Amino acid sequence: MHPASDDRSDVLFPDRSRNTWSIQDCQPHSEQVFAREPLTPTEQKFADAQDAFLDHVGQLWNANLESNYRQLVPGTVRVELSTSPEGELVETSVLSNTSNELATQLIIDAIRPAIRFLANGKSSKIKAEVTAFAAEGSDLEPRHKRPVANVSVSQGGLHYPYERGASFIVHDLSELNGLGPK
């Protein structure tokens, strides 16, 4: 008998070819993991509309934040907006607010003008959350606090199959006029 460490399968099974493999052979390659299927024309229409919407919201959020930054109160605001297939605002709901009304107004003011980009024949559901300084501690100076807005948009009817989201944060508050180190 051969020791257990000897591989004698070639003697026992001469007709079988030897196959070798490694764990890397079983792992998906990046082109397999990250390859995206091409979007259908309808999906591309929604993706383009949502990208334009989120880009516009981000621009307005940063502009609104610049002039109102120092008046924000630590806390979190959650809002939800609904639009018609024609891109008209149907409903605005404040789900919760532990900050001040300004935080609510800033995110709604950033979203409202951008809704026009979503006028593509399907209703939309927009969810937004603004966290104003909450997790960073109240003892920090204003230049160290970073409000964050997370916005997601869903379109397509009952199950809203077309969805995108974005987070807007100013990493360097000196980017905002007058808010840099003194």
User: pLDDT (tens digit, 9 = 90+) per residue, 137-148?
Assistant: 455 555 455 788
pTM exceeds 0.85 = no
Which tokens is 51 given?
């990208």
Assign 106 to helix, strand or coil: helix
pLDDT at 154 over 70: yes
Which tokens is 60 given?
């307005």
pLDDT given for residue 136 in this prediction:
46
73 Cα distance to chain centroid: 24
Q: How far is the C-alpha of 108 from the C-alpha of 131, rounded, in Å?
A: 14
- Count of residues in the chain: 182
pLDDT at 104 over 70: yes
Q: How far is the C-alpha of 60 from the C-alpha of 128, rounded, in Å?
A: 14
Which tokens is 145 given?
């606090």
